[in-house]
Amino acid sequence: MPEESRKISFTKKSDLLRFFLKNQKKLSSYINWSIRFPSTYEITREWNMNDSMRQYRINTSWRNHVIRFIEAKRTASKYSGSGTNNRIITSLDYCNNDRECAKALDTWLEYMEEEERYSFYVHFATSSIDEAIKSLNILIDRKDSDQDLRMPLLRDSITSYSRPFKSSHGRLEKRYRLTEIIGVPSPVELHNRIIGARDQLYAHCDLSVKAPRVSKIGISLRMAGHYWSDYEALLPTMAKLMDNALLLIRQYIAKEGMNDVAKFFKKFKEADDLTASEPVLLDRLYGNESSK
């Protein structure tokens, strides 16, 4: 890759000297820098591929093009069969039939898909179950000493536990849900009950469950099976359920090799050099959002 340079010009030696003294420490950290004396005085700053800001810009630019490509595919799918011409369907189409560019775009797409999958299981799913367990443990510890905390902590534990078992929409047209990978943790009946409570009571407001009745003294609710007394005896079993769910997630993470992030993404570090270069062709075709 060619080096990137930026020039700063001065018309007076005194201005150059002040700039040099002010930025001496910063200049010493550059890969290469020089002072030239033509009709004006110039300092040329040069970077190589190890420059973190440049690499960040390259990564951002490729990511933006992957998202644009996905959006183009979505549009093509929406209008397929309508007789509309020039609909982008493949990476080769997006890259204007440049095979090297399409190969690099596919590699970035695959990387970002794995990045989403890794993030969902290693962070999102794991932290959600962890939060559910923490809330449940506090509830068990304080249910008698602080009754006002009972239902808020129960609600938080139920919603946190349920979160990764509901559909999570990724940016790349993929959806993630724990049950598709680890199945339903045991005991299944309690799991289903918790998910139902989340769907009907805590994340939504299903009146069919609340069964409201209006009278002269106000609104009465008949939430059979959803009062504190219904859950109190289930707390130890809920703890086992959540521990089982966390164990299944960690087993999947280990099986997929996600415990070692460097090894999990190793194949992408060995990808073609084009994936680590500026997407010049795509920037020319579609613009470069990362430079704005």
- Cα angle 6, 8, 13 (rounded to 5 degrees) comes to 150
> Which residue has tokens 């009278």?
215
Query: Among 20-24, 140-144, 148-152, which is the least confidently predicted range?
Result: 20-24
Query: Among 2-6, 129-133, 167-171, 223-227, which is the least confidently predicted range?
Result: 2-6
**pLDDT tens by residue, 178-196:** 999 999 999 999 999 999 9
Tokens encoding 63: 């990511």
Average pLDDT over residues 20-40: 51
Is 278 in contact with 58 (CB distance < 8 Å)?
Answer: yes
Question: What's the pLDDT at 225?
Answer: 58
Average pLDDT, rounded, for the chain:
80
Average pLDDT over residues 98-102: 92
**pLDDT tens by residue, 145-155:** 999 999 999 99
Name the pLDDT band for 121 (thresholds 50, 70, 90). Answer: very high
